[in-house]
Chains A and B, each alone.
Chain A
Amino acid sequence: MGKAVIRNIIILLPLPVVLFSLFIGSSENVSFQKIVALFYSAHPLPPELETVKTIIYQIRLPRILLVFITGGVLSVSGSAMQAVFRNPLVDPYILGLSSGAAFGAALALYILIVPVQLLAFIFGLLAVGLCYLMARKNKQVSIVSLILAGIITNGIFTALLTIVQIISDPFKLQSIVHWIMGNFHTANWDKFNMVIIPVLAGLVILYVLRWKLNVLAMGDEEALSAGINPFRMKIWVLLAATLSSSAVIAVSGIIGLYGLIIPHIIRMIFGVNNKITLPMNLFLGGSFLVLIDDISRSFRGFEIPIGVLTMLLCAPFFIWLLKKTNTGWQ
Chain B
Amino acid sequence: MAMINNSIISVDDLSFGYDQNSSILSNVVCDISANEFTVIMGKNGSGKSTLLRIMGGIIPYNYGTVKVKGAELKSLKLKEKSRIIGFLPQQHKPVFPFKVFEVVLTGRASYVSITPNKTDLYETERAIELTGISYLKNRIYTELSGGEQQLVMIARLLAQKPEILLLDEPVSHLDFNNQIKILKLIKELVSKNITVVAVLHDPNMAYQFGDRFIYVHDNMIHEVNNEKAWEHKLVTRIFSNDIQHVEHEGKIIFIPKS
With contacts A226-B106, A226-B107, A228-B109 known, is A217 near B95, CB below 8 A? yes
A214 CB–B CB distance under 8 Å? yes
Which of A21-29, A30-38, A92-100, A268-276 is near enough to bind chain B? A268-276
Q: Which residue of B lies closest to A212 (CB)?
A: B109
Q: Which residue of A lies closest to B159 (CB)?
A: A226
B17 CB–A CB distance under 8 Å? no
A50 CB–B CB distance under 8 Å? no
A272 touches B106 (CB 8 A): no
A327 touches B109 (CB 8 A): no
B45 CB–A CB distance under 8 Å? no
Most buried by A among B81, B86, B92, B106: B106
A211 CB–B CB distance under 8 Å? yes
Complex-state Cα separation, A219 to B92, whole angstroms:
8
A275 touches B95 (CB 8 A): no
Q: Which residue of B lies closest to A233 (CB)?
A: B109
Query: Restricting to B94-121, which residues have a CB under 8 Å from any CB of A?
Result: 94-99, 102-103, 105-110, 112, 114-116
B243 CB–A CB distance under 8 Å? no
Distance in Å: Cβ of B86 to nearest Cβ of chain A: 6
Question: Which B residues are CB-close (under 8 A) to A214?
Answer: 98, 102, 105-106
Distance in Å: Cβ of A263 to nearest Cβ of chain B: 11
Interface residue tally on B, bucketed by range: 35 or more
B96 touches A329 (CB 8 A): yes
A19 CB–B CB distance under 8 Å? no
B96 touches A228 (CB 8 A): no
B131 CB–A CB distance under 8 Å? no
Q: Which residue of B lies closest to A214 (CB)?
A: B106
Question: Which A residues are CB-close (under 8 A) to B107?
Answer: 226
A224 touches B57 (CB 8 A): yes
B82 CB–A CB distance under 8 Å? yes
B74 CB–A CB distance under 8 Å? no
Question: Which B residues are CB-close (under 8 A) to A221?
Answer: 58, 87, 89
Distance in Å: Cβ of A83 to nearest Cβ of chain B: 8
Identify 11 new A-B residue pairs, CB closer than 8 A, beyond the known A215-B109, A272-B98, A328-B97: A88-B95, A225-B85, A225-B86, A225-B87, A226-B109, A227-B78, A227-B109, A271-B97, A271-B102, A272-B97, A328-B143
